[in-house]
Each structure stands twice: as C-alpha cells, then as structure tokens.
Amino acid sequence: MNGKWRIPPIHRSLVGQITLLSSALLLLALAYFVFLPFVEREADPVELTESLVLRPVYGVVFGDPNMPLGTIVESEDVQAAAEVNSSFRLFVRRGGEEIRIGEEPRWEGASDFPQLASGTNVEEQFGTSFARIDEGASRALIQTGLRDGEEWYVELGGIETPIAKTTGLLRGADPLDFWMSSQRLLAVGGAILLGVLCLILVLVRSMRRLAGIAQSLDPQAPSHVLPETGLPTEILPMVRAINRMIRKIDKANEEQAFFLAAAAHELRTPLAIVRTRVESLPEGQDKEELKDDLRRMSRLVNQLLRLMSVRNEGKPSDAVDLVSIAKSVVTERAPLVIGKGVEIDLDADGQPVEVRGDEYLLRIALANLVDNALSFSDIGQRLMVQVSRDKNITVRDEGPGIPAKELDSIFQPFAKNPPNRPGHGLGLAITRSIMALHGGSVKAANQKGGGAAFALQF
C-alpha cells in the first residue's frame, strides 16, 4: 500500500456503469431538447409561419397574467403574416379580455371539437384541446383550455403565404412549439432519470451498509456472517455466497484447531516417558543433546496448548494497567537482554493506562513481542517498549526489519522468517489470538531508520 487513494475502474463498478448510462441518457436528452430544434431540416414554411405567429400568443397566455393581450399586435411576425395574407385572422380570448386581428373567428362557438367539420385533427394534452381544421386553401389552428381558473381560446387561420424568415436556409423548428409538443416525452425521460438516480442511491447505501457491518464483525464471535435481510435482490446472491464461504472457513479452522489441540495433548504423555528414559542414560554429550531436543518439543507442545486455550477463552473484563504490565515484562526480560549485549528502555509517563483484559495473557502477548525483537537484535543495539496514553504498547528494535511480502503472514502459526531461524513460529500467532480475545489487534511495520515496530492496539 502506498497510502494513495485509488479510484477503481468505472467499467468494473456497478454504480459506475449505471452512472455512465444515466449520463448518456442525459446527453441524449440535452441533444434532443436543446440542439435539435435549431438544426436545419426540411419543414413546411406555412407551419413555421404559424409557429412564429403563435410564439407571442403563448407568451401572453402562459406567461404573466397581467400582460395585456395588446402586446401580441406589436409582434413583428404577427404583422408580417397579416401583411402577406389577405385572409389572415388571429383571435385570442383570455377570460373577459379578447383581441382580433384580421377577419372574424369562424369556430369560436364550436366548443365540441370532435363534432367539427371533416378534416379535423383533435389532440388532448395536459388539459388543453388542440384542433387543426382544413378550410380548403388554408387551415385553422384552434386551441383552448383553462389557466388559473380562466378559460382561454386561440384561433389562427388564413395563412397561405409564409413570411420571409421561414424560406431561408436555416429552417429549424420553433423552440417554443417544439417544447410544447415534447412535454410528455420530457416527463417520461425525467421520470426514468429520477428512477435511475434513486436506484444508484439505494445500491450505494446497501453496499456501504454491508461494508460497515463487515468491518465490525468479530472473527471470534460464534456467528460472524453478513445479514441477509433488507438487501436488494441483486446483492443478496453475492452476500449468501460470501456467508457460505465464511462458514466453510470457520469449519476448516475449527477442524485445524481440534487437530492441533488433540495432537499437542496426546504428545505430552509420550514426551514424559521419553524424558524419564533419557534421564536414566549415562551422562555424556548425547544425553545433553537429547535433553535439549526434548525441551524444544515440550516448549512446542506447551505453546500449541496455550494457543488453543486462548482461542477458546471468553472475553476478559478485569481492569488491568498496561504500564504495570510493561514494567513487569521489561524487568523479567532484562537479564536476557543484558546477557546478549542489548539495551532495553521503557517509555511511559508513570500514570496508569487501564484497559479491560486478562493480565496474565497480556503479559504473554507483550513478552512474545520483546522476545521476537531480541532475537533479531545484535550487540550494541537497543529495544524500546513504549506505552502511550491512547492505550497502545509498541515494541521497537534496530534489527534488519521485516520483508514487505512477509508483513501480512508473520502472525500465522508456524510462520518463520527466515525459515531456518530458531523457534517454532508460534509466538506472534499466540499474541494475535490474545489481542483478538481482547477486541484489539497487533500490527507490524518497518521503521524509516531501520528495524521493526510491533504495536498492541486496544
């Protein structure tokens, strides 16, 4: 780990894929509703003229209710259309106010659009009725509805000749007319986008909830699996697969622990018999070598039994002082340290640092770290045992340090680096089990100036 935050590839993230899809849909919507209305395309100039005439009408009808209808007459497009079409007519009524340009309205009294003359095309959209009526040489556009409790009515007809601006090179659709005709599609697209965003939020929340629960799981608890209730259907199969894997690992660990405990227990009696027979041998170098071998085997059996007993212990709750434990371990190990020509110091301010735990087991955990540091120290080097106010005990040495690839595996049972060094590789494993029993952890790291640092963290 280099300490830098790395962003995972988006194509491997479910949330990232949904985000990309949502962004693509949003870009398409923007292109459709913003750019498409201005793109040059073949269109009927008469229809474009009608759209230009209706633009100021819609601005008054759907805009500020205090805006007078007379502003429609001031529109250049309305004036241009009336000038080039002799039969032009535009009639607008809003509540009790009305305005007429050109001929009299023909369809004002016909409120039942389906009963109009043949050729009528009637649409109902958002409470508004819109009719197109064929009048022979031209057509009439009629629209009516309610706004703020007032009825409004618009009739446009008699346009046979388009105005000049609709016959040029750029003949894009009128944006206002385009907007009015696309409201339903926009509403559906907005609903889909909102649904996708909600789905993203639900997935992110569920994954964060699972991550938080996974980090808080206690490996020593009887059942430490992820919850399978209240999860989205898409995530549930993955969680069930993880739980099955956790149960298989638990079963394998239980079988391994049972084997180690049984093997260690069964070895004690044969070792006692062999020790008795060795004592009856005549004195000599062979006898001493056999006694050393028996001592190593006895130490291994005792460590295995201690490791298994720690894993089966309940969580201790006595109040213990970390400063007192550190002083005791340093005092006990002082003869060994001095005999090897190494210095050992204790850094503590003298004030008690209390935690809940088992004093005997915590002494074993710290003693294993001191013994491990001593085994890698040479003459003239120094060991430091530090107790901090935030309830941590750190053991630092000036040895060769730990290979980076071994940092995650040195706490496994029988792990030794290098493999041919003395010992059985159980001390750090016992320390880790003791800390797990206390709800804490043990961490290893290399120091910048050389050497290793092991920390008991509560």
Percent of the chain whose pLDDT exceeds 70: 72
Structure tokens at 452: 């290793």
Nearest C-alpha neighbor of 18 from the set 190, 202, 189, 185? 202
Q: What is the pLDDT of residue 304?
A: 66
Mean pLDDT comparison of 43-52, 338-347, 401-410, highest-scoring range: 338-347
Tell me the mean pLDDT in the region 158-180.
62
pLDDT, average across residues 134-140: 85
Tell me the pLDDT of the chain averaged across its residues.
77
User: In the prediction, which pLDDT does 115 show?
Assistant: 46
Query: Where does CATH 3.30.450 sit in the chain?
Result: 40-171
Q: What is the architecture of the domain spanning 236-311?
A: Orthogonal Bundle (1.10)
Where is mean pLDDT largest: 68-82, 175-189, 405-419?
Answer: 68-82
Q: What is the mean pLDDT of residues 150-157?
A: 90
CATH superfamily for 318-457 is Histidine kinase-like ATPase, C-terminal domain (3.30.565.10)
- Residue 103: the pLDDT is 87
- Of 43-52, 90-99, 242-251, 419-428, the range with the lowest mean pLDDT is 419-428
Ranges of CATH 3.30.565.10 domains, the chain: 318-457
Q: Could you read off the pLDDT of 241-285 as tens digits, one per residue?
A: 888 888 887 777 777 667 666 666 667 777 778 778 888 888 888
**Interval 175-200 mean pLDDT:** 68
pTM above 0.85, yes or no: no
350: CB partners within 8 A, 6+ apart: 323
Q: May I ask the CATH class of domain 40-171?
A: alpha beta
Separation CA 282–CA 52 (nearest Å): 121
Model pLDDT, residue 174: 52
Give mean pLDDT, residues 316-327.
87
